[in-house]
Amino acid sequence: MAMNNQNIKDFIQAVASKLPGELVREKEPLADHTTFKIGGPVDVFVTPRTIEELSFVMQMIDRYQIPLTILGLGSNVLVRDGGIRGAVVSLARMTTVKSCKEGVMTMGSGFLLKEVSEFALANSLTGLEFAVGIPGSLGGAVFMNAGAYISEMSRVVTAVWTVDAKGACRKYTTGEFDFAYRHSVFQHTGEVIAQVEMTLETGDAYEIQALMEDLTRRRESKQPLEYASAGSTFKRPEGYFAGTLIEETGLKGLSVGDAQVSEKHAGFVINKGHASACDVLTLIGQIQDKVYEAHGVQLEPEVRLLGIDK
């Protein structure tokens, strides 16, 4: 998509006429908006709060031909050191919708998965306990069909409202999501997830809470939560576990700069303080090469790579 500085200026002026100034920022460092704490600046960073604001922003992006990147809460992504050209639309403030009726929860895409799980618990609904420990937003979880331990989003999502590249809204329902392992139709449509409906079963609040607490303890004991990371670095190869293969190859503690294979869980690359995206990518390449050499298995990154080199 073609873009010049005047396009960006006109876009910023148009969006700022409808959204408060603090929701439209120029040259925003993306390290501040990712769980890896890595990433260069973006030309303009926009955080709409409602479907109406999101629709308007998308219309302006189309009008001024601005390259677009969508960001949830910044987990499961690695932004290159040169940052991102064009606009990043963050869904972090898409939290104005929150309702529950007869086992059906509808929530904005910007809610933390932990908040979604806790809302289900507050309504004595079971089916989202697994999500309590997954970092990231509801929209990002649907986009990736996130899962952990015992379930995944595909089991509970029954409707998704999106906004397309021209600002038009659409509702998807069961049978249209194309859910698979870490996959959904939204990875190919170019639409932005604005709102999600989840249908759950009534359960016992004490049992739901006990399971959530157990899953949280398991996560805290096994994952390097004390360091910045994007979550699991690699997809699970068929018939194997990525972390086990990496550990068996003797790569725990392997480092490039401040990027390191976690000593606690080999499936995680962590940022020990000042890692660059270049450090992380170099380390990922070394892991892939060494695991393939030792086991003949090609590891595929789960982390989405965004932006340009410095």
DSSP state of 190: -
**Can you read off the two tokens belonging to residue 209?**
């809470």
CA angle 166, 76, 197 (to 5 degrees): 55
- Going by C-alpha positions, the residue among 247, 217, 216, 218 that lies closest to residue 234 is 247
- Going by C-alpha positions, the residue among 147, 139, 157, 293 that lies closest to residue 232 is 147
**Can you read off the two tokens belonging to residue 78?**
């690695």
| Euclidean distance between CA atoms 46 and 290, whole angstroms | 40
Q: For 175-202, b where at least 16 C-beta lie within 10 A, e where not — what string? A: eebebeebebbbeeeebbbbbbbbbbee
DSSP state of 275: -
Is the CB of residue 82 less than 8 Å from the CB of residue 310? yes
φ, ψ (nearest 5 deg) of residue 256: -135, 110
**Can you read off the two tokens belonging to residue 213?**
């607490």
Q: Which residues are catalytic?
A: 182, 232, 302
